[in-house]
Chain A
């Protein structure tokens, strides 16, 4: 689950919501006889003669269009579903070192080193980390169980002044954003 999924969900819900709103609103308006009689009469059956005539003249290709639209709808729905389980976990990535050479780094190794360094602080009971994002813009996601009696500044400093700068240095990157979820527990 990542941020992109959250944004995608909002867009998807908005589109479907607007479509349903339009459909329901149109039917209500037509049923309430507020639309012009010549275009959308409310006292006609849902499927009336003009509808039949349209299908009769444009058959069968109109049905193919409907089938295509249904397939597209199903594919969008399926993709939307699959995206929910999307993880942006980073596997191995390659570093360009200054001398022109490259080094392969395992994402999990970097993440474990960060977690170890964070976990070394006395206020931290346990820590785990994973590298996420893209190879060009990696980020780190941490889960920390911290001593509830310790001030948050201890964790903030351990992360912001030690663990993350060290990781940035190792990866030779100016920016490695970190998202940390802290649970507080009694030591």
Chain B
């Protein structure tokens, strides 16, 4: 079993016949073998430094960018990937649930204890009742409170309806059952390193802004002719190799030291 990183003969999907010949086929019903034979470590293309523009060995670049292009566009797969990493809205849900529980417990305890003849009196409800008996609906305090309540309600509705950005960057896999997401921090770190490997670049910083990758690169060179383009190419190549679902156009800002 070897790893063909750029095996052109491999089909687009897993074929049972190919697997049957594999020497690590597990016996049905048994535990999955932890594999007696390990894949032979094969150098992965593109493990070297990112090719600078001037010195770019074309073969390496195409080898690195070719695999993502092979992934067929599958809308069901893309949707599944985006959905899998949507935010779960845990914070607003927890806050709302805590308030609901607290309100329910207080009201139930007060009412039931009073009905049983031993009022707890956690809240000054006599004073609340006398306030409510003398305050009109058109009182400014009532209107202000109502406005706050309505705004809170609107906020919760919006939190529920707006899907939110995925927390992870979905990767195009072409298979709805194979969902891969990248941690944004690792993704930008990889792009930063790609930019820094361009000859003439000291340090760089990459930020994702919406759907754009913004690169700020620092160079000690006096005349950085073509350097920005080289950085852009290096980062674009790395993005293509990492294969995110949506493409990130690269914008480069070059700064002197």
| A contacts, CB < 8 Å to B | 1, 3, 5-6, 9-14, 16-28, 30-33, 40-48, 60, 63-64, 66-67, 70-78, 80-81, 84, 95, 97-98, 101, 103, 105-106, 109-110, 112-114, 116-117, 120-123, 147-162, 164-167, 169-170, 172, 175-187
Contact = CB atoms under 8 A, between A and B. Distances in A.
User: Considering residues B86, B111, B187, which has the most beta carbons from chain A within 10 angstroms of its beta carbon?
Assistant: B111
B110 to A, nearest CB: 9
Interface in B18-64: 19, 24-26, 28-35, 38-39, 41-48, 64
Given A9-B88, A151-B44, 7 more contacts: A12-B93, A43-B138, A80-B100, A112-B34, A161-B10, A166-B24, A170-B28
Contact of B68 (A73, A151, A170): A151
Where chain A touches its partner, the secondary structure class is: helix
A47 B26 contact: no
Interface residues of B, number: 108
Given A46-B136, A121-B3, A151-B44, A70 B142 contact: no
A182 B182 contact: yes
B115 to A, nearest CB: 6
Given A149-B44, A182-B183, A70 B104 contact: yes
Interface in B219-237: none
Interface in B88-112: 88-90, 92-94, 96-108, 111-112
A77 to B, nearest CB: 3
Contact of B133 (A13, A45, A109): A45
B160 interface: yes
Interface string B113-132: 01100000000000001001
B94 A63 contact: no
Contacts of B156: 13-14, 16-17, 20
B93 to A, nearest CB: 4
Given A46-B137, A113-B32, A150-B46, A67 B115 contact: yes
A102 to B, nearest CB: 9
B107 A66 contact: yes
Contacts of B155: 17
Contacts of A22: 153
Given A177-B177, A181-B183, A77 B104 contact: yes
B171 A152 contact: yes
B76 interface: no
Interface stretch (B143-151, B198-206, B249-257): B143-151
A157 B45 CA distance: 14
Contact of A71 (B108, B139, B148, B190): B108
